[in-house]
Structure 1
Amino acid sequence: MGYSMGATGLYIRTPDMAKLGLIYLDGGVFEGRRFISKEWCDIVFKRGYELKEIAPGCYAKGGMCGQMLLVDRSNSAVVAWMGYDNDGYSERMRRFISESTSLSV
């Protein structure tokens, strides 16, 4: 073994995925406790490590089955959702977010 496997899935509940987004939004801190260094958070946003900038100040990461984490630094907002996209659910969520905010996701 001796290596970690990437791109094999993240098993996480939606509230915990939102917390991860809040950690990144707050520079590595959640509820007063540091989980990730501020330097790492800066690198993630600056270089786009897995959080792609989809609009100025807004970053997102999608999953294989319609999961999405959206971190909007401009509006201090985080959106997390999960759902298999068999019925166009992800497209409806994107439309809802776009209509509810100034974002085009």
Structure 2
Amino acid sequence: MSQDDNKYKTMHCMVSPNTDNQTQLALARYQLIYSVIGLLLGLVCICGGIYLFIQGITGEMNWSLKVFGNESVIANAAPGAVLFIVGLFLVIVTKFKFKHIKPK
């Protein structure tokens, strides 16, 4: 696998190096907005999960999720723990990933 193939795997979309600079700037701006919104929602979920845990809210939730061949199973978890995990997932998935590639 070449270095260029690895470069495109880390990006959410493939942008040709010959793309107009204004278009690349707009894509970077929208990626930043997407990342900030994801970070804020993740932070709210994490804080909510911690709050529920500290308040001693009890209950049992079962979670089974399959995404892209990966499986996540949580059995008999407190609602605060599930909310905390969802928040971490949001923060990790929406992190800022944009590389500005200058044309050669």
The structure that is strand-richer by fraction is 1
Computing the radius of gyration over CA atoms, which structure comes out larger, 1 or 2?
Answer: 2
Q: Which TM-score tier does this pair reach, normalised by the shorter chain?
A: under 0.3
| TM-score normalized with structure 2 length | 0.27
